[in-house]
Structure formats: C-alpha cells, structure tokens
Amino acid sequence: MVCDKSFSSSYMLLNHEEVGVFDLVHMLRSHAIEKRNFVDCPKGTTEEKFKQRWLLSMSVLAQKMLKSIKKPLAAMGSGIEYWLNLVSCNRNLSGLISNWIRGEMIRPERSLSTFISFTGCLDTRIELDKDIIESGDKDRYNCLLSIMAAKASYENHAYIQHIITDIWKMELLGSFDFWNDYQQKATTQAFILRDKKEDSDLIVVAFRGTETFDADAWSSDVDLSCLGGALAVLFPAVLMSHNEIELLDMLEGVYTFGQPRVGDKRFGKFMKENLGKFDVKYYRTVYSNDLVPRLPYDDSTMMFKHFGTCLYFDSFYNGKLMEEEPNKNYFSPLSALPKLINAIWEIIRSFMIPYTRGADYREGFVLKMYRFIGLMIAGVPAHGLQDYVNVVRLGSDLYKDPRSIGDNEIKLMIDDETSK
C-alpha cells in the first residue's frame, strides 16, 4: 500500500500485516516508534506517553484479529442475509417449506431490488412519514429524509433506484463505490438524490456506514469509528479546506445519527467557525446508550472532541439539547447496571411499541433477537437505525435550527436537568 504523504509533515500509518508479537512488546518498551517496521511515520517521530503507545499497540492487535476473522465473518454474514431473503422471497417460513415441497421455491438474487441487507432486515420501513411531510416542518422533513437515505445507502443499486424513484418519487443522481487508492479497493459507498418540488429543490448526499459483517470496515472503525457519520462531517470539512465557496453557500445542513468523534478541539473550532460563516445547520443526534458517539475516547491521550450541540434522546424517545451525551466515554463501572436495565426495557418495548405508537413501529423477529445483544453490550443495538428513525418520527421539536438556541440556554437546560 502506497500513500502520498506530501500534503502533511505529521502522520502515522500502522500496517497490521507486518506486525509480530515482539514488535508490539518493543513498542511498549521504547518511545522510538519510528524503528518499528509496521509504523510509517516521519524520521525522528517519538511517543513519550506509555498510554498512547499502549493504545497504538491495541489498535494494531485489534486490526490483526479482525483480519483473521475476515473470511468467516463475511461468509456468516452472506449466509444470514441469504437465508433472511430466502424466507422473505417465499413470504414466510411456512411459505418457504410449502414452495420447497412443491418445487416452486423462489431463490433471492443479490443484484435485484428485492434483496435486502442485514441492516435493512432490522428495519424494513421504506415509506417517508406522512405526518412529517404534511406538517410542513422543513427541518424535521430534512432530518427524516436524511435518516431514511442513510438507511437506504446500505442496499444495492437496484434497491436504491427503486426506493428513490418508485416509492419516494424523487430522482437518483448517482450511486457510487468510491475507490480507496491506499487500500486498492472501493471502500466507501454513497449516493446522491434530488427532491425537486414546485417551491424547493433539495439535493441529499448520503454515506453508507459500517456494514455488520465487513471486517475491513470494522478494522478502519478501530481508529475512526462509524464510517458514514464520520464522512458526513468530513465532507463539508474538505469543502472548507479547499475553499469551495459556491458549494458551501448552497449547503443547507449536515445531519448525523450516531456520529463518532472525528477530530480534536482545534478541528471543532474550525468547523464551528465555518459552519457559522456559511450559515450551515448542524444536527448531531445521539440515541440512548449508543456506543459509537462515545468513541474514540475524549481524554488527554486520544484528544478527540465533539463539537456543536448534541440532540440527545433516551429510550422513551424524549429529547433534550446537551453539550455532550451522558456517560461520554461509555465504559464506566457505575453505568453498567443502568445500561443493563435499559437494555431489558428496550426488549420489553419492542413487544409493546406497536400498541402504543402504531403498527408502523412494529419490530420484526430479527430486530427483537438483535436487541438481546444489548444484554451483553448495550451500545451495539442502540446504534441501530430503527431507533434513529423512531427518534426523528417521535422526537420533540428539537429538530428546529439548533443554532437558534444559544449556548447560555443550553447550559441552563443542562443545569436544570442536573438539579432535578
């Protein structure tokens, strides 16, 4: 793998394919990390902090472990997706058995619009919420369209084409697999749609997040976390750094759901200044115990920081504006029991919600089983798109322009919550 580093004098690339056990031990013992054959960095680079060397070592080890399970994980995912679509193509399990006996079993084709990814099987809703559309609330409509587009981005081109043109009655401008010259393969997927009405002309760019059974993507996530949420922030950042004034003037908003920390405090300051300069709205939505927004760590070693206002929603879909989501670094012994109780409640809620909120919120068998993972790691099912779609549909009026609420008002709201 070759990377053009001419744009920066400060960089570090880790190659897990060339690392051995003794390399990791030597990294922990010596601050001269440039001497390690799996580290590509400028000459003279050192790392004095043991904690930072420990994190680098664990990052490489995690990537090496993910590499070792790449093929079995992909095979398992492919099998699960095929089985779920096989059942769906034949209506249900009894229909599958009946069709098989009669020799009329329908086999799914991965390239067709009827084939759904594992992410799509968790939440099968494809229609846009009519109540939000009819309300005329532009901010909530944009959030709704953003989360539904993000959900559709996990699917194949035929599915995306069908949903956008036939169901949403919009125009698909393009569906892309972007080439990564460093990894020598297409690693980033996105599509662009156009929602043109008599009184408006809206273009949406939606980035695909990390696929459940893609070990390569999870390997990248060890350092950058959820791909889609990070790219949604980095996209305008690149426009700003390249001084793309015309595009930035037309950019209305950035919408992220379960977005990880992307940069440090300086990056946050740069983004806030430029988002304000170009009058761009920024919505960072976080649901309950979602693990991803709490990564990478916000501490003196990692130095990652969120910026802007957090639109936080609990497991009852009650929302509030915050500077930072609760339990910001996730891993805390004091939060273990509350997270377990909340995971149990989410399982109970999955059976109750169609009766309390309506049939459109019914959760299928796959999602109900997926929620049981929360009993072990609460932050995994909490990152699912089902809850983020529910947040936009059922959430409060927080989905107005977050810039219209000043920092002092946000601080007062946080103080009020603390005093209760």
- Tell me the HSE value of 242 on the side-chain side, using a 13 A CA sphere: 11
Choose one of 46, 68, 90: the last residue of a domain.
Answer: 68
**Do 301 and 153 reside in the same domain of the chain?**
yes
Q: What is the mean pLDDT of residues 249-267?
A: 93
**Do 64 and 75 reside in the same domain of the chain?**
no
Q: What is the mean pLDDT of residues 245-258?
A: 95
Residue with tokens 């003279």: 44
**Do 46 and 147 reside in the same domain of the chain?**
no
**Do 40 and 60 reside in the same domain of the chain?**
yes
**Do 338 and 284 reside in the same domain of the chain?**
yes
Residue 257: count of CB within 10 angstroms of its CB: 30
pTM of this structure: 0.87
**Do 220 and 284 reside in the same domain of the chain?**
yes
Q: Is residue 107 part of a domain?
A: no
Q: What is the mean pLDDT of residues 344-348?
A: 98
pLDDT tens sequence across 10-22: 666 777 676 777 7
Q: Is residue 80 part of a domain?
A: yes
pLDDT at 30: 72
Q: What is the mean pLDDT of residues 335-353?
A: 96
Q: Is residue 108 part of a domain?
A: no
**Do 305 and 411 reside in the same domain of the chain?**
yes
Q: Is residue 184 part of a domain?
A: yes
Q: Is residue 115 part of a domain?
A: no
pLDDT tens sequence across 356-395: 999 999 999 999 999 999 999 988 899 999 999 999 999 8
Q: Is residue 5 part of a domain?
A: no
pLDDT at 70: 87
pLDDT greater than 60 at residue 285: yes
Contact between 393 and 257 under an 8 Å Cβ cutoff? The reply is: no
pLDDT at 9: 65
Number of domains within the chain: 3
Q: Is residue 1 part of a domain?
A: no
* Token pair recorded at residue 116: 């759904």
What CA–CA distance (Å, rounded) separates 370 from 380? Answer: 9
pLDDT at 406: 46
**Do 41 and 143 reside in the same domain of the chain?**
no
Sorting pLDDT into bands at 50, 70 and 90, what band is 411? very low
* Token pair recorded at residue 265: 């405090």
**Do 224 and 368 reside in the same domain of the chain?**
yes
The CATH number for 205's domain is 3.40.50
**Do 41 and 134 reside in the same domain of the chain?**
no
**Do 276 and 402 reside in the same domain of the chain?**
yes
pLDDT tens sequence across 44-54: 666 667 777 77
Choose one of 26, 45, 68: the last residue of a domain.
Answer: 68
pLDDT at 408: 46
Q: What is the mean pLDDT of residues 274-278?
A: 95
User: Residue 404 is part of which domain span?
Assistant: 121-419
**Do 342 and 199 reside in the same domain of the chain?**
yes
Contact between 301 and 58 under an 8 Å Cβ cutoff? The reply is: no
More reliable by pLDDT, 125 or 408: 125
Q: Is residue 110 part of a domain?
A: no
Residue 319: count of CB within 10 angstroms of its CB: 20
More reliable by pLDDT, 292 or 225: 292
